[in-house]
Amino acid sequence: MPAIQEKLVQELKKTGKPLVLVLSNGRPLELMHLEPMADAIIEIWQPGIMGAEALASILSGRVSPSGKLDITFPLTTGQIPIYYCMRPNGSTYGIEYQDIPAGPLYWFGYGLSYAGS
């Protein structure tokens, strides 16, 4: 994400209010710096014309969807490509990166309902 957006999240976190990060994008993002600052993350991908209404329903609590990721989010861009049906690689057999964990930030299928259950 652009540095200015990361800086905005840092400033918003300083307010002490719960911070929900809403992502509207077309591919998985590197969230290594933003994820620790967010109290919740909602991925809306590219929702179309009804997206704003659906998001408002989720954020207000009118609906509680059960959402599971349909793609893996890497911990860093150096892990790309990483996906659920990948063939075994060096990290699968105990070889780790020197500077980061071998696993992604969020695996395919990760997710909870908005209520956390």
- pLDDT, tens digit, for every residue of 24-49? 988 888 898 899 999 999 989 899 99
Share of residues in the chain with pLDDT > 90 (%): 34
Mean pLDDT of the chain: 81
Would you say the pTM of this structure is higher than 0.75? no
Specify burial of residue 53 (Cβ count, 10 A radius: 0-12, 13-18, 19+): exposed
> How far apart (Å, rounded) are the C-alpha atoms in residues 86 and 37?
30
> Are the C-beta atoms of 23 and 42 separated by less than 8 Å?
yes
Find the mean pLDDT for residues 7-16: 96
**In the prediction, which pLDDT does 110 show?**
84
